Structure 1
Amino acid sequence: MNFKRRQNFQPSDKLLVLVGSKNPVKISCTEDAFTRAFNKSFLVEGINAASGVSDQPKGDIETLLGAKNRAQNSREVFPEANYWVGIEGGLDQDDFGMYAFAWIFILDREGKASQSKTGTFYLPKAVADLVDNGMELGKADDVVFDRENSKQQGGSVGILTHGIVDRNEYYRQAIILALIPFVNENLF
């Protein structure tokens, strides 16, 4: 793989990446992750793609399925792209409480697929209680932290880390990790 930037880069050289969401954070972090991983520019667009899971997925199985469905449904809607990306946030619980995470699922034109999971972090009891009562995490954050549309901004992770880790940074690392097989084709 060539890590040097091309000097004569033309916009027509850009590969198209479709994100199965219109959320500006998911589009932005995908563009940044692909640019960093491949060391070149991409055209990244978001489209509404059904996740096929509940509005607030619970557990790894449902959340990963949502990410996979978003990528596959994006491919069905726009098969001319070069890559399709699904990002799905989910929740789970253990003895310490409710925690959040996201799954990333990426497909390419050749049929290769890869996935990666973000780190996890625990939610305050007030947020967890609202989610347990049927509220989606973003709305629960807005209620507890007196915000508006926080899920299209820094998200829970941004609120709870006081902006040190925002949603863009949180997803970006997992997208780069999911790209490992694509940037190391000789190994995968």
Structure 2
Amino acid sequence: LLLHSLKEDMDKKVIIASKNPVKLKAVKEGFTKMFQEETFNFKGISVPSGVQDQPMEDDTTLRGALNRANNAMAKVQNADYWVGIEGGIEKTGEKEMQAFAWIVVKSRQYIGKGKTGTFFLPDEIISLINEGKELGEADDIVFGQNNSKQKNGAVGILTGNVIDRADLYSQGVILALIPFKHTSYYS
């Protein structure tokens, strides 16, 4: 028990501004891939994003991720990293809508931002979002799913799980960690 406690004290503590299992998995994968020589202790907490439940613009989505990281830092101050993830959508042109997420990673010295890949949503999903539904809710209706946003998400459904939501977000986490991997290049 004492040995386990000492190991936890040596691990870097990462506070994830979500309890969504997809986001927790993505952060764990991103950190362990980027820093293979280090060990981490991850904890998910619930904090507000300060933006609408379904961000509808790129900049609002980024602000939501930043707010989550800042709110996590305010709530749990004894940590090494704080991570905010916010999924968003944005209209493109007349009829198209893209989906993506922003990830913000903070430490006391640095901030990193990464954005996931972007994909375009089907017309039926767009119609439901235009009626006021969130993306996850629209996915569940169209594809007969239940709580898909805490599972494979729209990207998993649309790719046949070639890329699921955790995979998509994990790459964004890795991109947000670049300043922490190469601190001499970032101020």
Q: How high is the TM-score relative to the length of structure 2?
A: 0.93
Distance in 2 between the 1:71 and 1:10 partners?
25
- One-letter amino acid of the structure 2 residue matched with residue 29 of structure 1: A
User: By percentage of residues, which structure has more helix?
Assistant: 2
Q: Which residue of 1 aligns with 2:96?
A: 97
Identity %: 46
Q: Which residue of 2 aligns with 1:135?
A: 133
Q: Secondary structure at the match of 2:184?
A: coil
| Structure 1: gaps spanning 5 or more residues | 1-8
CA deviation map 1:137-156 (0-9, x unaligned): 00000000000000000000
- One-letter amino acid of the structure 2 residue matched with residue 94 of structure 1: T
Q: Which residue of 1 aligns with 2:60?
A: 62
Distance in 2 between the 1:108 and 1:37 partners?
16
- One-letter amino acid of the structure 2 residue matched with residue 77 of structure 1: K
Q: Secondary structure at the match of 1:10?
A: helix
Distance in 2 between the 1:166 and 1:18 partners?
23
Distance in 2 between the 1:173 and 1:61 partners?
19
- One-letter amino acid of the structure 2 residue matched with residue 97 of structure 1: E
Q: Residue 122 of structure 1: CA displacement?
A: 0.6
Distance in 1 between the 2:7 and 2:56 partners?
43
Q: Which residue of 1 aligns with 2:19?
A: 22
Distance in 1 between the 2:130 and 2:150 partners?
22
Distance in 1 between the 2:79 and 2:107 partners?
8
- One-letter amino acid of the structure 1 residue matched with residue 168 of structure 2: Y
Distance in 2 between the 1:101 and 1:59 partners?
10
Q: Which residue of 2 aligns with 1:5?
A: none
Q: 1:87 aligns with which of 85, 88, 103?
A: 85
Q: Residue 89 of structure 1: CA displacement?
A: 0.4
Runs of 4+ in 1 over 2 A off after TM superposition: 9-12
| Structure 2: gaps spanning 5 or more residues | 1-5
CA deviation map 1:32-59 (0-9, x unaligned): 1111111122111110010000010011
Q: Which residue of 1 aligns with 2:7?
A: 10
Q: Secondary structure at the match of 1:102?
A: strand
Count of matched residue pairs: 179
RMSD (Å) for aligned C-alpha atoms: 1.2
Distance in 2 between the 1:94 and 1:186 partners?
37
Distance in 2 between the 1:94 and 1:70 partners?
26
Distance in 2 between the 1:27 and 1:14 partners?
17
Q: 1:36 aligns with which of 33, 38, 52?
A: 33
